Chains A and B, each alone.
Chain A
Amino acid sequence: MASSQVLSGQQPQDAQQAHGRLAERPSFWRRTRRRMNTQLVLGLGLLALILIATIFAPLIAQHGPNTITETGSLAPPQAGHPFGTDSISRDVFSRVLYGGRVSLTVAIPSVALALLLGMLLGVPAGYLGGKVDQVIMRVLDVFFAFPGVLLALVIVTILGPNIRNLILTIGILYAPRMARIVRAPTLSTKSLDFVEAARSIGAHDLRIVLRHVIPNVSSPVIVDVSLALGQVILTETALSFLGMGPPPPAASWGSMLSQSRQFMEFASWTVMAPGIAIVITVSCFLLIGHGLRRMLDPRQQRKV
């Protein structure tokens, strides 16, 4: 069709039309904005707030996270102490802001580590298949038999509770589920036509994986990374709550909550502030995850 038009000399006009059509096509940002949904917008908005609050914590907070103020202990919320003070008269608002730093410095590297390990296990399992797949997946099955919190508690206790060990432990514990998430789309991509085509022109396996498989795996992965960030924060705060988080005086939300529980009858702000901070942060990542899933999967848009 196109070639006959070229032969009959209609090419310039046709090209112009094609150019016109291209110009009508909405820009990348406009297309993205059209596909955005409430969940995603809400989640990204919260994320922006959380990032500003944690990155600029020293500028926003009027007190240091460990500074003992002169206001007195367990003072209710007031000017200068929006969330009151804790049992040794530290400013709860500053501690909540700095607590966000602790949670994010654990969560982001752990999820990155889990993703890296998950890719290293899941891509070969899906791409090579056969025995490799069987062995890798059976080994991962073992990990799914353990409650994450229990295994993390045991390992962090044995290695010693600090931020580095928390990241290593949580990262390794989340790797199996990342591997599962990565494996399925790898498996379905490897038999697609364009991968076959790449193989037929003699592309090396590594090149096929890097150029063709991994880009196709990215949508389910990006959804799960977001959901995992929320869940990792829940795990980290649970460990901190049980006393196996970053050692004191680090302001972590879980340990703030557990240390304030004995005073909650008359100073409820000391438990409510870190608790609500956890809920907002986790909700933010879950919203982004659900929103992205809806945006990337057209089937989901019609559903729920």
Chain B
Amino acid sequence: MLQVVLRRLIMLVPVMLGVSILTFGAMHLIPGDMAVAMVGIEGAQDPEVLANIRAKYGLDQPVPVQYLKWLGAAVQGDFGESLRLNVPVAGEILRRLPLTAELALLSVIFGLVVGGLLGTLAAVKGGFWDIFVRSYILLGVAVPSFFLGTILILYGSRYFDFIPTLQYVSFREDPKTHMLVMIYPVISLGTSLAAVIAENTWSAVNDTMNLEHVRVARAKGLAERRVVTGHILRNALIPITTITGLQMAFLLGGTIIIETIFALPGLGRLAFSAINLRDYPLMQGIVLVIALMVVLANLLADLAYALFDPRIRVS
């Protein structure tokens, strides 16, 4: 098991190097002078301001040198200073990160519970559930999260007035209200994940249902409920874990939209405002951190996979 973890950790290094190159390179797609882009048109009138910003961000050096310097600092947790907020990027990211992590985690739980339940029902019961789940799988993916969120705000505020919308309350201020505030964002973000999980649970359960060990379990007279939970779902969990890991990039991208709609002060909303304000150091920092989160989530999924599958655990 330890070897599996170590091997996967070493494989992360080249991927993260590539991620950092792409993140750094994307910022240098800016047409024209980077320094002018950073200070804006008014600042660019003053050659002294330009020279200062060039020296401060090392823009007068060759690009590979700039990259290595940036990477060296980033590895030590220094992402430079935000252009517009005038605070260190790393501190601001750390301050906003927990809410986004909470939103993502709750959405994954929502996706696994709803998707797992629907997929299993469709495979085991069929009939009504077959049609219902088929429609859910289609619409869950086809309804954009920003539309679902908008509908929830529009009709939710009419019929469920105890759930506050558009005003964020932190967990520390009022835990109960905080959880209520998170309901709509989690549904908006988790619905498409649940659809993907339902689809995969359905086919995984179908594949497992007629395997020998399940037939043995039935033959020895185990209650159908125990057969499903103990023998079918346990096996189906392996592909479901992989799929959930692969959806993490999509899920974290979704937080940008959801946090913007629901006014949640998380990393996604910070990313959006950094992009809108052309705050390049902040953009770079956030993109790198989000990619790191995706890579780590995939690693976790792989490890969970190893945990569920004794064949991998042993070898």
Q: Among the listed stretches A25-33, A85-93, A230-238, which one makes contact with chain B, having 4 or more residues with CB under 8 Å of it?
A: A230-238
CB-CB contacts of B272-303 with A at 8 A, as 1s and 0s? 10011010000100010011001100000000
State which of A141, A157, A241 has its C-beta within 8 Å of the C-beta of B257: A241
Residues from chain B with a CB closer than 8 A to the CB of A141 are 15, 18
Q: How large is the interface on A (under 10, 10 to 19, 20 to 34, 35 or more residues)?
A: 35 or more
Nearest CB in chain A: distance from B199 CB, A: 8
- Assembly CA distance A291 to B105 (angstroms): 33
- Assembly CA distance A141 to B22 (angstroms): 12
Residues from chain A with a CB closer than 8 A to the CB of B290 are 146-147, 150
Residues from chain B with a CB closer than 8 A to the CB of A234 are 142, 144
Chain A: interface secondary structure?
A: helix
Nearest CB in chain B: distance from A117 CB, A: 16
Residues from chain A with a CB closer than 8 A to the CB of B145 are 238
Counting CB contacts under 8 A, is B132 at the interface?
Answer: no
Known contacts: A257-B146, A257-B150. The answer to whether A149 contacts B138 by CB under 8 A is no
Known contacts: A278-B147, A303-B203. The answer to whether A149 contacts B19 by CB under 8 A is no
Counting CB contacts under 8 A, is A264 at the interface?
Answer: yes
Check A147–B253 contact: CB distance below 8 A: yes
Residues from chain A with a CB closer than 8 A to the CB of B136 are none
Counting CB contacts under 8 A, is A279 at the interface?
Answer: yes
Counting CB contacts under 8 A, is B31 at the interface?
Answer: yes
Check B29–A158 contact: CB distance below 8 A: yes
Check B250–A238 contact: CB distance below 8 A: no
- Assembly CA distance A253 to B214 (angstroms): 49
State which of B30, B154, B251, B260 has its C-beta within 8 Å of the C-beta of A268: B154
Check B253–A150 contact: CB distance below 8 A: yes
Check B142–A146 contact: CB distance below 8 A: no
Check B14–A138 contact: CB distance below 8 A: yes
State which of B15, B21, B26 has its C-beta within 8 Å of the C-beta of A151: B26
Nearest CB in chain A: distance from B243 CB, A: 14
Task: Give chain B's interface residues, CB within 8 Å of chain A.
Answer: 14-15, 18-19, 21-22, 26-27, 29-31, 138-139, 141-147, 150-151, 153-154, 202-203, 206, 249-254, 256-257, 260, 271-272, 275-276, 278, 283, 287, 290-291, 294-295
Q: List 5 contacting pairs A-B, 8 Å CB cutoff, sorted by A.
A: A150-B253, A157-B278, A158-B26, A238-B145, A283-B138
Task: Give chain A's interface residues, CB within 8 Å of chain B.
Answer: 138-139, 141-151, 153-155, 157-159, 230, 234, 237-238, 241-244, 254, 257-258, 261, 264-265, 268, 271, 275, 278-279, 282-283, 286-287, 290, 303-304
